[in-house]
Amino acid sequence: MLSLLQNLVFRSLNRTFATMILIIDDDIGIRTSLTMMLRRAGYEPHAVASPREAIAIVKQQKPRLILMDMNYSLTTSGDEGLVLLQQVKLFQPDVPVILMTAWGSIQLAVKGMRAGAFDFVTKPWNNAALMQQIENALEITENPPPAKDRKGGRPNPHSAAEGQGDGLPDGSPTIVGRSPALLQVLDTVRRIAPTNASVLITGESGTGKELIAEAVHRLSRRSGKRFVKVNLGGMSQSLFESEMFGYRQGAFTGANTDREGRFAVADGGTIFLDEIGDLDMGSQVKLLRVLQDHTFEPLGDTRPRQVDVRVVCATNADLPGLIRERRFREDLYYRINLITLRLPALRERRQDVPLLARHFISQAGRTQAIPYTAQLLPEAEQYLSSLPWPGNIRQLKNVVERTLLVSQKSWLGREDFERQVEQEPRAEVENRAGEGLLTLEDQERQAIIEALRQCDGNVSRVAQTLGLSRGALYRRMERYGIK
């Protein structure tokens, strides 16, 4: 009889904790506040005051999510929280943990992220921002994995882009390709787009990061709102606040009227921060506060303004390397890369080169008003697929359009493209890449040098060719010692 009663109690607890959010904090005020907030949102919170109580629960049951404070005694080192996090991960490795810390202990939260925490929130928190973080964590961790091809373990090609269709909603930019590397990226986009999670898109220049960012927006619940693009590489520190947060009339000389900033314009939608690796350290602090608190103050205004945006960032820089060089904040890095999408270089998806070339030919017929339809000969497809394309898709597009305009033929062969491509330097780059000796920085430097040669040193044309602002191009030239 006793055994039966114990089983009934255990089953009752299992049903409760299966949908429970566990709160661990020694401050009764915080436990009470979080409990009330979660109950109003329809969740089942369970609050405990000590690590010992928390471990007793996670040993037996699996919460949906854990909100964990970092300190439980008079010390403020956070060591107790880090130890508790490690213990929790031993018993429940798949449960998302959101750390709660004071603004002054952000570095402590970064240590927690390295140890396996899903996210962190600073005290005092913004309720709406915290609820969004909780929903992001639950949506991402409880979402089913992307469809896989049963035989090969690869993404199912019928569930993503094939030929010149990408399966995205009407009005989306066309993403062309059917290589496994691209299909895997698109499967991940479909999985994470409906959430509000921040996304970091990495990859070399010209790989299509902006198209992927727009696809994330189109597939999200925010698709009916604005998609605001911001090139941070071309933005000086003095302009960052006025451009991103806006200003009030009279805030500075020349501020004759009120002006909305980019965050205000993107409210309810998605803001795309391109070239975030080029943002200076001072501006990084200001951006981090907006991403953390979801509030900002326009210049000349003392009233905080709340904003609801999804943040998608992109960079071709090595952010972990910049963190080691103390040129990029580690706490900002963890805030923007909840989801990371790495776009493959064009040389990693050679089978897509003919598809892209045909797409650009068709596109040029409309945009350049070409009165004839051109086709690619097999020898041209093989030749284009063999090139290393350090400028990636953007470079391929330029070569195809230039060849189409210059040749004015209905059938394009290898020799037509050879006239527009400098073969020797690219062959050298391809050989070095094949030997594994070429770093991402080497490739970027080589692409800039080749673009300068092609454009006869015209910096404006080089920047346009590479898809960079003049400011971003100058900074890269200085970094790589290019005169």
For 335-348, write each residue's pLDDT tens digit.
898 889 999 999 99
Of 108, 127, 142, the position where a domain reaches its end is: 142
Q: E-assigned strands of 349-419?
A: 375-376, 411-412
Contact 191, 296 (CB under 8 A): no
Residue 181 in any domain: the answer is no
Average model confidence (pLDDT) across the chain: 81
Are 399 and 334 in the same domain? no
Contact 480, 446 (CB under 8 A): no
Query: Which candidate, 43, 44, 60, 82, places its Cα nearest to that of 9?
Result: 60
Residue 66 in any domain: the answer is yes
Question: In this structure, which amino acid lies at residue 310?
Answer: R
Strand bridging mode 199-202 / 310-315? parallel
Are 334 and 355 in the same domain? no
Are 281 and 376 in the same domain? no
Give CA 90 to chain center in angstroms: 29
Of 342, 369, 389, the position where a domain reaches its end is: 342
Are 334 and 373 in the same domain? no
Q: Which of 92-106, 179-193, 276-290, 465-479 has the lowest mean pLDDT?
A: 465-479
Contact 307, 294 (CB under 8 A): yes
Residue 442 in any domain: the answer is yes
pLDDT confidence tier of residue 149, bands split at 50, 70 and 90:
very low
Of 291, 309, 342, the position where a domain reaches its end is: 342
Are 256 and 331 in the same domain? yes
CA distances for 456 relative to 1, 134, 443, 459, 472, angstroms: 90, 53, 20, 9, 19
Residue 261 in any domain: the answer is yes
What contacts 47, CB < 8 A, 6 or more positions away?
A: 22, 23, 24, 25, 31, 32, 34, 35
DSSP string over 226-284: -EEEEEGGG--HHHHHHHHHEE-TTSSTT--S-EE-HHHHTTTSEEEEETGGG--HHHH
Mean pLDDT along residues 33-49: 93
Are 119 and 214 in the same domain? no
In CATH, what number is assigned to the domain containing residue 369? 1.10.8.60
Residue-wise pLDDT tens digits, 104-141: 566 777 788 888 888 888 888 888 888 988 988 888 88
Residue-wise pLDDT tens digits, 426-438: 434 444 444 444 5
Residue 306: strand, helix, or coil? strand
CA distances for 268 relative to 4, 263, 271, 307, angstroms: 53, 10, 10, 8
Are 319 and 370 in the same domain? no
pTM: 0.68
**Looking at residue 66, what is its pLDDT?**
96
Q: State the DSSP code for 125.
A: P
Are 360 and 320 in the same domain? no
Count of domains forming the chain: 3
Phi and psi of 384, rounded to 5°? Answer: -60, -35
In CATH, what number is assigned to the domain containing residue 28? 3.40.50.2300
Contact 19, 138 (CB under 8 A): no
> Does pLDDT of 204 surpass 80?
yes
Contact 99, 121 (CB under 8 A): yes
Are 294 and 375 in the same domain? no
Residue 166 in any domain: the answer is no
> Does pLDDT of 65 surpass 70?
yes
For 142, other C-beta atoms within 10 Å of its C-beta total: 11
Are 101 and 202 in the same domain? no
Are 319 and 428 in the same domain? no
The HSE-up count of residue 120 (CA atoms within 13 Å, CB side) is 34
Tell me how long the chain is.
483
Contact 181, 204 (CB under 8 A): no
Residue 162 in any domain: the answer is no
Q: How many helices (H) and strands (E) does the chain have?
A: 21, 16
Q: State the DSSP code for 156.
A: P
Residue 228 in any domain: the answer is yes
Range of the structural domain that residue 226 is part of: 193-342
**Looking at residue 329, what is its pLDDT?**
93
Are 333 and 355 in the same domain? no
Percent of the chain beyond pLDDT 70? 83
| Angle at alpha carbon of residue 142, lines to 313 and 276, rounded to 5° | 5
**Looking at residue 143, what is its pLDDT?**
67
**Looking at residue 148, what is its pLDDT?**
39
- 346 or 19: which leads in pLDDT: 346
In CATH, what number is assigned to the domain containing residue 300? 3.40.50.300
Phi and psi of 331, rounded to 5°? Answer: -65, -35
Residue-wise pLDDT tens digits, 313-333: 999 999 999 999 999 999 899
Residue 177 in any domain: the answer is no
